[in-house]
Amino acid sequence: MTATATNPASPLPGPARARPAYLVLGGASLSHFINDMTQSLFLASYPLFKGGFSLSFAQIGLLTLTFQVTASLLQPLVGRYTDRHPMPYSLPFGMASSFAGLLTLAFAANYAMLLTGAVLLGLGSSIFHPETARLARLAGRGSHGLAQSLFQIGGNTGTAIGPLLIAYFVLPHGRPTLAWFAISTLVGIVVMTALGRWYALHLKARKAAGPVAAPAQHDPAMVRRVMTVLILLIMSKFFYIASITSYYIFYLIQRFGISEHAAQMDLFVFLAGMTVGTMIGGPIGDRIGRKRVIWVSILGTLPFTLALPYVPLEATVVLSGIVGLILSSAFPAIVVYGQELMPGRVGTVSGLFFGLAFGIGGLGAALLGVLADRIGIVAVYHICAFLPALGLLAVFLPDLDGKRAVRA
């Protein structure tokens, strides 16, 4: 009877108020760090690949497309399957694929082997992201935005550190040095095995507790409409990110005449900004609502992206960090928003959104590479500056936070 006297806008009792399993979230974040560090090493090695194999910008774009499309096509399928048949111990296998991919890149003798390494890295990500995102949501115990940010900050930190590792270790000693970083994936396999055991015990306890009521579903027409908007927002975000991760080094070298080492350091500023943005996006979404975070984080970058192609080097580096910080705060909010839009389909939504992030980024890299070969890399950044304007589409997103409070 006391439940009926509770303020309808207050949080639900029970698991929603439980303390998050920070040790599990820490393990998931560490594994995400290792997974995305291997990917970042791949992306930051593009100058080595370009010089060593005499690649064009279009071939660089195809390399990114191969990696990211492999992940994007498989992730939604993995997520959909594991929604119905959870596979806790599949997690170490994804890390093992990344291990094989990094070794292939380190000792590749031709462009075809580079493509093979890209496929193996993409396969590893496709297995890793959907199940680990579900595990993070379970470990969050109601603090879904916080859990998603803690999970994603590991990935963004791994992405940010890649250029530093390339600049200080791989460039001085050559591409085979990449093989040494494969050792970290062995650590990841051990961590993912432990997380898989926790996940399996959780599933066993939930099964023993008996069936639970199916979560209330939203109107299918509204779900389709809102998912279309979210996909377009992800497209604007990751097209722009692809322009930075794939070509920003070449842009800085060509426009400002700086060294490759200095360009790698400047890329780190953007990636570090993304790490901070990811950390704050989820918890802020828990407090003020996902829609507000999505609004600010995507559309709020527009003034800075418009200014970036016209300012000197020092300002370019500063603006890139600001853009990375604001833009990246959107993704944790978008993922949790989608999970709440389609309750009970955490793996499907996570796989779809992470897969779209890879696929759209890969498609963007390929298209931008072809465009850069035709009009020049500097001109490409004048065009990409307008991509965040698609953030205006956030006006069509309903306020799920308010609706969730009413249902509670």
CATH of 20-208+218-407, one of 2.120.10.30, 3.30.70.260, 3.90.190.20, 1.20.1250.20: 1.20.1250.20
User: Where are the domains positioned within the chain?
Assistant: 20-208+218-407
Paired tokens of 108: 């590749």
Paired tokens of 281: 């996006």
**pLDDT grade, residue 209 (50/70/90)?**
low
Most confident listed range (40-49, 188-197, 387-396): 188-197
Q: What is the pLDDT of residue 167?
A: 80
Which residue type, as a one-letter code, is found at position 82? Answer: T
Residue with tokens 């493509």: 115
Q: What is the pLDDT of residues 288-345, one digit of tens each?
A: 777 888 877 777 888 999 999 999 999 999 999 999 998 888 878 888 888 788 877 7
DSSP states along 214-242:
PPPPPPHHHHHHHHHHHHHHHHHHHHHHH
Q: What is the pLDDT of residues 39-97, one digit of tens each?
A: 888 877 888 888 888 888 888 888 877 887 787 777 778 877 877 787 888 888 889 99
What residues have CB less than 8 Å from 71, skipping those under 6 apart?
Answer: 122, 123, 125, 126, 129, 354, 355, 358, 359
- On the question of pLDDT at 232 being above 50, the answer is yes
Q: Residues 172, 48: contact at Cβ < 8 Å?
A: no
DSSP states along 74-94:
HHHHHHHHHHHS--GGGHHHH
- On the question of pLDDT at 351 being above 80, the answer is no
Dist. CA 327–CA 304, nearest whole Å: 11
Most confident listed range (5-9, 171-175, 385-389): 385-389
What residues have CB less than 8 Å from 324, skipping those under 6 apart?
Answer: 244, 269, 270, 271, 272, 273, 274, 277
- On the question of pLDDT at 13 being above 50, the answer is no
Average pLDDT over residues 227-245: 84
Q: Which residue has better confidence, 208 or 5?
A: 208
Average pLDDT over residues 277-284: 80
Residues found in the chain: 408
Q: Residues 71, 355: contact at Cβ < 8 Å?
A: yes
Q: Which residue has better confidence, 77 or 119?
A: 119
Q: What is the pLDDT of residues 83-100, one digit of tens each?
A: 778 788 888 888 999 999
Strand, helix or coil for residue 259: coil
340-212-82 Cα angle (round to 5): 60
Return the DSSP state at 257. -
Reference 321, options 112, 160, 175, 139; nearest CA is 160
Q: Is 340 exposed, middle or buried (0-12, 13-18, 19+ CB in 10 A)?
A: middle
- On the question of pLDDT at 16 being above 60, the answer is no
